[in-house]
């Protein structure tokens, strides 16, 4: 097998090298590459650069958002801690106010109890004095009624009338003789 310029192989495959076709195809390939490099690559680079810039901005925004999220989370945690502290302070103030109000209410209740107790004692004393007056009047009336009844019983008989008249007269004589009779009318005149 002898190789010639135009034939590369003989047999089943008949491969020949044709220079004008090769050069025209090479020229066509170069034009296609030049066209792609001149008109397709720059817009593709721009699109890729834009996409890369957009992705870079999105990553930066994502990082910034992550930073803002972390700051917001820290601010939230801080706000929650401050709210808890404020709530605890408000609870303490409320407890102190409640204790103060309870103390005031106890003092007011004690003062009211003392006032009611004093008023009750005064009223009891007033009722007691009134009862004593009423009992004294009732006792005096009962004593007068009893005395009147006894006197009527004693004077009811003629003998007791005569005895009481004689006693009365004897008392008058004793008074007249003692000199007290003179003093009595002077003191009565005053």
Q: What are the structure tokens assigned to 99, written together?
A: 């204790």
DSSP 16: E
Beta carbons of 17 and 5 less than 8 angstroms apart: yes
CA 42 from centre of chain: 73
- Is 150 within 8 Å of 160 (Cβ atoms)? no
pLDDT one digit per residue (tens) for the chain, 190 residues: 444 455 555 567 777 778 898 899 999 999 999 999 999 999 999 999 999 999 999 998 888 888 989 999 999 999 999 999 999 999 999 999 999 999 999 999 999 999 999 999 999 999 889 988 888 888 888 888 888 887 777 667 777 778 878 888 898 899 888 865 455 555 444 4
Enclosing H/E stretch for 77: helix 41-155
Under DSSP, is residue 8 helix (H, G, I), strand (E, B) or coil?
strand
Predicted model pTM = 0.38
> 1 CB contacts (<8 Å, ≥6 apart)?
10
Q: In the Cβ-directed half-sphere of 116, how many Cα atoms lie within 13 Å?
A: 6
Q: For residue 9, what is the enclosing H or E element?
A: strand 7-9
């Amino acid at each position: 097998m002898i190789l010639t310029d135009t034939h590369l192989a003989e047999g089943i495959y008949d491969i020949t090298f044709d220079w004008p076709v090769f050069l025209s195809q090479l020229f066509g390939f170069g034009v296609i590459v030049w066209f792609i490099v001149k008109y397709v690559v720059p817009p593709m680079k721009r699109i890729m650069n834009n996409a890369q810039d957009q992705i870079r901005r999105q990553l930066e925004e994502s990082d910034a958002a992550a930073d803002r999220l972390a700051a917001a989370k820290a601010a939230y945690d801080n706000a929650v801690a401050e709210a808890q502290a404020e709530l605890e302070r408000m609870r303490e103030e409320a407890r102190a106010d409640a204790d103060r109000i309870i103390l005031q209410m106890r003092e007011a209740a004690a003062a009211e109890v003392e006032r009611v107790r004093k008023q009750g004692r005064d009223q009891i004393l007033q009722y007691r004095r009134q009862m004593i007056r009423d009992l004294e009047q009732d006792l005096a009336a009962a004593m007068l009624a009893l005395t009147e009844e006894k006197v009527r019983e004693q004077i009811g008989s003629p003998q007791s009338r005569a005895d009481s008249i004689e006693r009365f007269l004897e008392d008058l004589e004793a008074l007249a003789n003692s000199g007290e009779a003179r003093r009595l009318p002077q003191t009565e005149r005053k």
